[in-house]
Homo-oligomer: A and B are copies of this chain.
Amino acid sequence: MKSIDYSLYLVTDETKPNAELLSIVESAVIGGVTVVQLREKKSKGNEFYEKALALKALLDRYSVPLIINDRVDIALAVGASGVHIGQEDIPLQVVKSIIPSTMIVGVSVKTLEAAKIAEENGADYLGVGSCFPTSTKDDAELLADGMLQKIRENVHIPIVAIGGINKENISELIKYQPNGYAVVSAIIQADNPKEATKNLLREINL
């Protein structure tokens, strides 16, 4: 699967126990989330694998693609639709050399230079952020002024806006025409993840 609908892109965090996370993701998918990224920074390989496997089984039932953050081996092990890497992970060209051509690769960027390099090296999409201040990613640095627009105008692959996006601020990003909006806490920490998802989609007129 090389063509993914990035419209509303849920990224998980490690704040919820597994069973609860699965239930939140299912509600979010029913609410309209189009793609899910499993992001684990602390869990061991077997926990990460078991979590990815359970999430994959759930998402398959809804034909929603699963993307694995950082660990290419976990993505390969569960047959994920894609892998998402940052600037500190295994380099893009190397990742591409060890995955099947059907698996997509997304790359986090915060500069135009990094965006262009990732596009040249065959990234399938870019995660661009942080768009707003966030407490989720400790290493999240705010994008420079006008950077989302600059990247939008200079690359041709899909762009997913990320970082601190919630129902109050998501509509401010519409003018930059990203292909999708990635959220973490706005859905994971919501009292009602399904309604939160619908509200986010409403804000971006989807």
Contact = CB atoms under 8 A, between A and B. Distances in A.
A135 interface: no
Most B-side CB within 10 Å, residue of A46, A90, A94? A90
A88 B49 CA distance: 10
Contacts of A97: 77
Copies of this chain held together in the complex? 2
B77 A46 contact: no
Interface stretch (A10-18, A57-65, A67-75, A198-206): A67-75
B98 A45 contact: no
B91 A76 contact: no
Nearest to A76: B98
A44 interface: yes
Looking at chain A's contact residues, is the secondary structure mostly helix, strand, loop, or mixed?
A: helix
Nearest to A72: B73
A98 B70 contact: no
A74 B45 contact: no
A71 B192 CA distance: 37
A123 to B, nearest CB: 15
Interface string A72-93: 1110110000000101111100
A71 B95 CA distance: 13
Nearest to A47: B88
Nearest 4 A/B pairs, CB to CB: A72-B73, A45-B89, A73-B73, A44-B88
Interface of A: 44-49, 70-74, 76-77, 85, 87-91, 94-95, 97-98
5 contacts: A45-B90, A46-B88, A49-B91, A73-B90, A77-B97
Given A44-B88, A45-B89, 12 more contacts: A44-B89, A45-B70, A45-B85, A45-B88, A46-B87, A46-B88, A46-B89, A46-B90, A46-B91, A72-B77, A73-B73, A76-B98
